[in-house]
Amino acid sequence: MNQHQQREDERSRIRAAMDRLLADKPTDSNGSLTAVALAAEADVHRMALQKRHADLKEEFYARVRTETHQTPEVERRLRKEVVRLKQAFKDSRAAEAESRHRAEQMALAAAVLILRRPDSQDQPAPGNVIPLRPSGD
- Answer whether residue 129 shows pLDDT above 90: no
How far apart, in whole angstroms, are the C-alpha atoms of residue 9 and residue 14?
Answer: 9
- Split at pLDDT 50, 70, 90, the class of 110 is confident
Q: Which residue has the higher pLDDT, 103 or 127?
A: 103
Please write the tens of the pLDDT for every residue from 47-83.
Answer: 999 999 999 999 999 999 899 888 887 888 888 999 9
- Answer whether residue 120 shows pLDDT above 80: no
Query: Which of 59, 75, 71 has the alpha carbon at shortest distance from 19?
Result: 59
- The average confidence (pLDDT) of the chain is 87
Task: Enumerate the domain spans of the chain.
Answer: 3-70, 74-117
116 in helix, strand or coil?
Answer: coil
Phi, psi of 70 (to 5 degrees): -115, 155
Burial of 12 (0-12, 13-18, 19+ CB in 10 A): exposed
